[in-house]
Amino acid sequence: MVKIAAHHIAGTPEHGFSSMLHSNPDYTPTCAWPDDCMVQWGHGLVPAVPFFEAFPVGTFIRGEGETIAAAEQQAFEKYQRDLACDHVWGRHREGRGTYTNGAAFCRKCGGFRGSMFCPVIVLGHMRKPLSNWERDWLDSLENDHELNAHMDRKYPADAAGRRRSARMLRIRLNQFGAAPATGEAAA
């Protein structure tokens, strides 16, 4: 069974919130999406185009159309093209430039994968003083124990990354200092 996003399922907190925003039209997907694929749909805000989005493992597919059913059909056709393609992956996205964050785009079908390559890192990009917001961020990572405990409970998968950010910011502060405060904080 395809996974329906929580905000479409009556009785969930997400559904209550989404219904309040009138962004949650009733709809039942009809295409043969894989079991582990999450799907959602709605009407865009500006412009108000019906859309259907699917998140098969590793990728993201969006269809748009006159109706949500037409949008699902378009998304499913893109998905079928992706499945049938003998992909040629690259970092370049047609008409949008080159992505350095590890995302990949197929030169043949336009298919997308979120993390196919290693991110391109500029050497020495850590060798500089902390900006004001990084100084604030480090302060909260090191001292706001209540917030950190809350974030760890809410986003357990990100906990290790948050510790790493704190260590990196602390090393940069020790080695390179912080940029002078600007605006009101400097007065």
List interacting residues with Zn ion (CB under 5 A).
Answer: 85, 87, 106, 108-109, 111
State which residue, 66 or 94, has the beta carbon closest to Zn ion.
94
Q: Are 72 and 50 in contact (CB under 8 A)?
A: no
Least distance CB 111 / Zn ion (angstroms):
4
Least distance CB 82 / Zn ion (angstroms):
6
State which residue, 29 or 111, has the beta carbon closest to Zn ion.
111
CB neighbours (10 Å) of residue 39? 21
Distance CA 141, CA 108 (A): 44
State which residue, 15 or 87, has the beta carbon closest to Zn ion.
87
Strands 92-93, 3-4: pairing kind: unpaired
Coil, strand or helix at 68: helix
Least distance CB 106 / Zn ion (angstroms):
3
Distance CA 66, CA 133 (A): 44
State which residue, 65 or 110, has the beta carbon closest to Zn ion.
110
Least distance CB 91 / Zn ion (angstroms):
14
Distance CA 114, CA 5 (A): 20
CB neighbours (10 Å) of residue 8? 21
Least distance CB 109 / Zn ion (angstroms):
3
State which residue, 77 or 144, has the beta carbon closest to Zn ion.
77
Strands 3-4, 61-64: pairing kind: unpaired
State which residue, 51 or 105, has the beta carbon closest to Zn ion.
105
Least distance CB 85 / Zn ion (angstroms):
3
Q: Are 178 and 135 in contact (CB under 8 A)?
A: yes
Q: How many CA atoms lie within 13 A of 41 on its CB side?
A: 26
